[in-house]
């Protein structure tokens, strides 16, 4: 029996049935919200790190590694700390960036684009890195935010097990809510290491996803945005 046959089939979007194995390899996803348990935030960080370290030690030992070796001995604790405090810290709403708004005193109602925001995330199907760049734009509805906050919102949603399409929408929806405007655009281009280092082992392809809200649905605005991002190579 193939391993895939042992996974139950589930229905996605009513189209056809997929095995859970196929969902992972085709990077399908079921929700725009990160699927979280109801009691996700009951455990404190120290407890989480203890549990993850215990189980990661089990994985390493199952793989046959000798954890009495000094090089490997501290790895379970290092991985646990990295998961909770760094690469998956965006699962904890307490780490969501606090965003102060300013009045748009200068009546700057044109497009603001923050481009080439680099980020590291991880694929939720394989737990290996997604490396990419996000371009974020908004047209003010009377409020403005500090430029670094656009970057921080991207980093917050990147630091979760992710699917690129979901991450794109999550960033857009958060900025729409904070800036109280539909006029948000997010474009993400990323390389998925689960595609390059395993599976089809394609090292050159990248994935592009986008979200265009409000005025960004207008063709002229869209062309202007794409010109800033893709045709205007500004070098310092
Ligand atoms: Zn993957």
The enclosing H or E element of 50 equals helix 45-62
Q: Are residues 121 and 82 in the same domain?
A: no
- pLDDT at 13 (0 to 100): 55
Q: pLDDT tens digits for 162-194?
A: 999 999 999 999 999 999 999 999 999 999 999
Boundary residue ending a domain (34, 68, 94): 94
Residue 43 alpha carbon to ligand 1 centre in Å: 27
Residue 165 alpha carbon to ligand 1 centre in Å: 13
Domain of residue 7 covers 3-94
Work out how many domains the chain is built from and give that number. Answer: 2
Q: Are residues 18 and 83 in the same domain?
A: yes
Half-sphere exposure of 222 (CA within 13 A, CB side): 10
Q: Are residues 115 and 219 in the same domain?
A: yes
Boundary residue ending a domain (38, 68, 94): 94
Residue 29 alpha carbon to ligand 1 centre in Å: 11
Q: Which residues keep their CB under 5 angstroms from ion ligand 1? A: 123, 125-126, 194
pLDDT over threshold 80, residue 161: yes
Active site residues: 123-126, 164, 192, 194
What is the C-alpha to C-alpha distance for residues 183 and 93, in angstroms, rounded to an integer? 24
Q: Are residues 129 and 215 in the same domain?
A: yes
150 dihedral zone (left: phi>0; alpha: psi -120 to 50; beta): alpha
Boundary residue ending a domain (94, 129, 152): 94
- pLDDT at 3 (0 to 100): 45
Residue 236 in any domain: the answer is no
Residue 173 alpha carbon to ligand 1 centre in Å: 24
CATH number at residue 148: 3.30.1130.10
Q: Are residues 104 and 68 in the same domain?
A: no
CATH number at residue 17: 1.10.286.10
Residue 116 alpha carbon to ligand 1 centre in Å: 23
Return the number of other C-beta atoms located less than 10 Å from residue 200's C-beta: 10
Q: pLDDT tens digits for 118-130?
A: 999 999 999 999 9
Q: Are residues 121 and 45 in the same domain?
A: no
- pLDDT at 236 (0 to 100): 65
- pLDDT at 5 (0 to 100): 45
Please give the model's pTM, rounded to 2 decimal places.
Answer: 0.88
pLDDT class for 4, splitting at 50, 70, 90?
A: very low
Q: Are residues 80 and 117 in the same domain?
A: no
Residue 103 alpha carbon to ligand 1 centre in Å: 41
- pLDDT at 9 (0 to 100): 56
Q: Are residues 113 and 206 in the same domain?
A: yes
Residue 111 alpha carbon to ligand 1 centre in Å: 34
Q: Are residues 109 and 220 in the same domain?
A: yes
SS3 161: strand
Helix ranges restricted to H, 63-191: 70-73, 75-81, 147-158, 164-179
């Amino acid at each position: 029996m193939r391993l895939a046959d042992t996974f139950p089939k589930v229905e996605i979007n009513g189209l056809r049935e997929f095995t859970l194995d196929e969902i992972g390899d085709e990077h399908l996803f079921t929700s725009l919200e990160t699927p979280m348990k109801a009691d996700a935030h009951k455990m404190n960080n120290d407890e989480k790190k203890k549990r993850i370290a215990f189980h990661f030690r089990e994985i390493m030992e199952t793989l046959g590694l000798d954890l009495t070796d000094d090089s490997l001995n501290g790895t379970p604790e290092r991985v646990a700390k990295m998961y909770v405090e760094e690469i998956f810290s965006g699962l904890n709403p307490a780490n969501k960036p606090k965003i102060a708004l300013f009045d748009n005193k200068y009546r700057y109602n044109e497009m603001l684009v923050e481009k080439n925001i680099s980020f590291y995330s991880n694929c939720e199907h394989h737990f290996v890195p997604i490396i990419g760049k996000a371009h974020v734009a908004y047209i003010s509805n009377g409020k403005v935010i500090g430029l670094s906050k656009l970057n921080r919102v991207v980093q917050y949603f990147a630091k979760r097990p992710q699917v690129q399409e979901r991450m794109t929408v999550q960033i857009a929806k958060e900025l729409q809510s904070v800036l109280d405007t539909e006029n948000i655009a997010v474009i993400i281009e990323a390389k998925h290491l689960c595609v390059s280092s395993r599976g089809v082992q394609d090292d050159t392809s990248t994935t592009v996803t986008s979200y265009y809200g409000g005025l960004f649905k207008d063709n002229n605005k869209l062309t202007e945005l794409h010109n800033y991002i893709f045709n205007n190579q500004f070098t310092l």
